[in-house]
Amino acid sequence: MTRQARTDKSFPAAGGQPAAAPEELAILGIGLPAWNRLLLVAGLVALVVLPFLVEGFTTFQMTQVAIYAIAILGLNLLTGYNGQFSLGHSAFFAVGAYTAAIAMNHFGLPYLLTLPLAAVISFLVGFAFGFPALRLEGLYLALATFMLAIAAPQLLKFSLFEPLTGGAQGLVLMRPEAPAFTGLDDDQWLYFISVIVMLALFWLSGNLIRYRIGRAIMAIRDNPLVASALGINTPLYKTVMFGISAAYTGVAGALSAMVVGFVAPDSFNFLLSVALLVGVVVGGIASMRGAIFGGFFILYIPTVAESFADVFSKGLSWAAYGVLLLAVIYVMPSGISGLIDAVIRRIAQPKQAPRRTDPAADVATAGPGPSNREKK
Partner 1 sequence: MAFLQVDGLDAWYGKTQVLFGCDITLDEGGVIAVLGANGAGKTTLLRALSGMVRRQGRIVIDGTPADQLSPEAVVRLGVAHVPEGRGTFGRLTVEENLRLAAIIRKDAAGVRRDFTRVYDYFPRLHERRSQQAGTLSGGEQQMLAIGRALMLAPKLMLLDEPSFGLAPQVRRDIFLILKDISRSSGVSMLVVEQNAALALDLASHAYLLETGRIVLSGTADSFLADDTVRRTYLGY
Partner 2 sequence: MELLLQQIIAGLATGGIYACFALAVVMIYQAIDHFNFAQGEMAMFSTYVAWQLMAWGLSFWLAFGLTFVFSLVMGAFLYLVVLKPVQNASALSQIVAFIALMCIFNSLAGTIWDYSVKPFPSPFPETALFGALVTGHDLGMIAVTLIMLAGVFYFFKFSTLGLAMRAAAQNPESAQLCGVRVQMMTALGWALAAAIGSVAGMMVAYKVFLEPNMMYSIILYGFAAAIVGGLDSPAGAVAGGFLLGVVENLTGVYVPGGSELKLTFALLLIVVVLMFKPTGLFGHRVVKRV
Q: Is 37 in the site for partner 2 (CB under 8 A)?
A: no
Kindly identify the residues of this chain, within the stretch 79-98, that bind partner 2 according to CB under 8 A: 79, 85
- Furthest CA-CA distance within the chain: 81
Positive or negative torsion for Cα 348, 352, 355, 358:
negative
Name which of 86 and 256 has its Cβ closer to partner 2.
86
**Residue 167 burial (CB count, 10 A):** 17
The binder of 53, among partner 2, partner 1, none, by C-beta within 5 to 8 A per type, is none
Name which of 32 and 323 has its Cβ closer to partner 2.
323
CA proximity to 78, closest of 188, 227, 243, 291 = 243
**Residue 108 burial (CB count, 10 A):** 7
How many residues are present in the chain? Answer: 376
Q: Which residues contact 159 (CB under 8 A, 6 or more apart)?
A: 167
Smallest separation (angstroms) from partner 1 to the CB of 363: 9
Name which of 1 and 366 has its Cβ closer to partner 1.
366
Name which of 15 and 163 has its Cβ closer to partner 2.
163
Backbone angles phi, psi at 165, to 5 degrees: -95, -10
The binder of 219, among partner 2, partner 1, none, by C-beta within 5 to 8 A per type, is none
CA proximity to 293, closest of 343, 322, 328 = 328
Helix (H, G, I), strand (E, B) or coil at 25: strand
Smallest separation (angstroms) from partner 2 to the CB of 148: 7
Question: What letter represents residue 129's amino acid?
Answer: F
Q: Is 138 in the site for partner 2 (CB under 8 A)?
A: yes
Smallest separation (angstroms) from partner 2 to the CB of 176: 33
Helix (H, G, I), strand (E, B) or coil at 31: strand
Name which of 115 and 305 has its Cβ closer to partner 2.
305
Give the binding site for partner 1 (CB under 8 A). Answer: 365-368, 375-376
Name which of 357 and 371 has its Cβ closer to partner 1.
371
CA proximity to 244, closest of 302, 204, 280, 216 = 204
Smallest separation (angstroms) from partner 2 to the CB of 194: 26
Which residues in this chain contact partner 2 in the complex, by CB under 8 A? 79, 85, 132, 135-140, 142-144, 146-148, 150-151, 154-155, 157-160, 223, 225-226, 229, 274, 277-278, 280-282, 285, 313, 315-323, 325-326, 328-330, 333, 368-373, 375-376
